Amino acid sequence: MMVKEYLPSRHLVARLDKGLDLVEQITDLASGARIESATFMVIGALGQAELSYYDQEKKEYHNFGVDGPMELVSCNGNVSIRDSRPFVHAHAVLSDLRGNVVGGHLIKALVFAAELYLIELSGEKLVREFDAETGLYLWRLH
Ligand code: ZN
């Protein structure tokens, strides 16, 4: 395990815009506020969404669409730097009108209403780099 210590910095609360993509809005917020490291959570309601599943054997993502409207039961994620710019990594659990849930790595989601709580982390820049063993861009913590 690799560990690096950070301290909480700014806490941002945002109401995301209806009709725009959730991941893009958080990415834009991070860019605009010069946030390079953060953790966040979002709850709300969504229209169409696209989730993904990472096939660990083939080392590739398999995207799948989810038809809205759906509740955004839980969305957790983080912001770090990939290719010199803020990169949002988020996972989401969505539910339908019967409470059935589907979840995965969040690619995009049309916001109906969404409340974001983001905590900026202050410390050394948190950067992602390609990891050949997993095929993923993971945090460089050494
Ligand atoms: Zn993921």
The pLDDT profile of the chain, 142 residues, written as one tens digit per residue, is: 999 999 999 999 999 999 999 999 999 999 999 999 999 999 999 999 999 999 999 999 999 999 999 999 999 999 999 999 999 999 999 999 999 999 999 999 999 999 999 999 999 999 999 999 999 999 999 8
Separation of alpha carbons 89 and 46, rounded Å: 18
Residue labelled with tokens 């995009």: 108
Region 8-139: CATH code? 3.30.1330.80
Compute, in angstroms, the gap from residue 40 CA to the centroid of ligand 1: 14
Q: Give the CA distances from residue 85 to residues 16, 66, 112, in Å, rounded to whole numbers and listed in that order.
A: 21, 28, 27
Compute, in angstroms, the gap from residue 137 CA to the centroid of ligand 1: 10
Q: Helix, strand or coil for residue 98?
A: coil
Q: What does pTM read for this prediction?
A: 0.96
